[in-house]
Amino acid sequence: MSSHSVTHSNPVKYNHPTSQPNGLGTPIVLTIAGSDSGGGAGIQADIKAISATGGFACSAITAITSQNTLGVAAIFPIPLDHVKSQLDAVFSDIKITAVKIGMLADSSIINTVADTLRQYRPKFIVLDPVMIATSGDLLLQESAINTLKQTLFPLVDIITPNLPEAAALTGLPRPTNEDEMLAMVPALRALGASCILLKGGHLDDQEESLDLLITATTVERLSAPRIHTKNTHGTGCTLSSAMASYLAQGYSLLDAVHLAKSYISQAIKHADQLHIGQGHGPVNHFFALHQDGSTQ
């Protein structure tokens, strides 16, 4: 057993917020990510999640993917000058409060994004280190992993790796249980990000969906009932985008993580109401439109 001190909480007790905590202006979120032609992940999922949770979404596309619920057929990185021009266009005109970063494809794009974030200094940055799609397809060149760690991790408020991504980042074996997740904590802290949400969704044999919220001194255990469905395409994009949306609305990082965990749990719970494709379908981002708006 791990010697880490772990606190426990149940994120699904949070209700969907109906107002911003600090009476702020329009909560604007910029998502920097790849496009998913199937509509279930990437920029498309980000815009849906930000909108559904109360934010306004802007976007800068880093790559165009040819994909559907069965997998990724091709990836076309956007030319660097156009990635930069998208970012400049948005930042120079629109007051961006939070940034969500997803697929970055290669080292050149990572460096361009990092330079631009240093230039404009948005208040919050959430990084989903997208490396491997739900289908197993590689979405980040292996040579770019070190660039990601060295240039972007020191700039962000939180990273949100799943278990395969955490293994790729640390060089450790992919955890197969909670104890192995806890054993990975020191290596994750050493990556340089100020906060890490280690997502345990790949532990399919467990009856709970377990994440670990890791800071420099604490580990908090976030648990929700596991929903058994094949429709989980875009869960990581959706979770990190919801987190950025809540941060833009004035919630603390801890509350934003809890609210995002609650939102994604409900989006997965209602995923089977949709019938999209023949493989791993998307989560139901707008489940609340057909209910009373509560995530309970």
> Which residues does the annotation mark as catalytic?
199, 232, 234-237
Q: How far apart are CA 239 and CA 45, in angstroms?
A: 10
The number of C-alpha atoms within 13 Å of 69 and in the hemisphere containing its C-beta is: 13
Q: Could you tell me which of 132, 111, 11, 6 has the C-alpha nearest to residue 62? A: 111
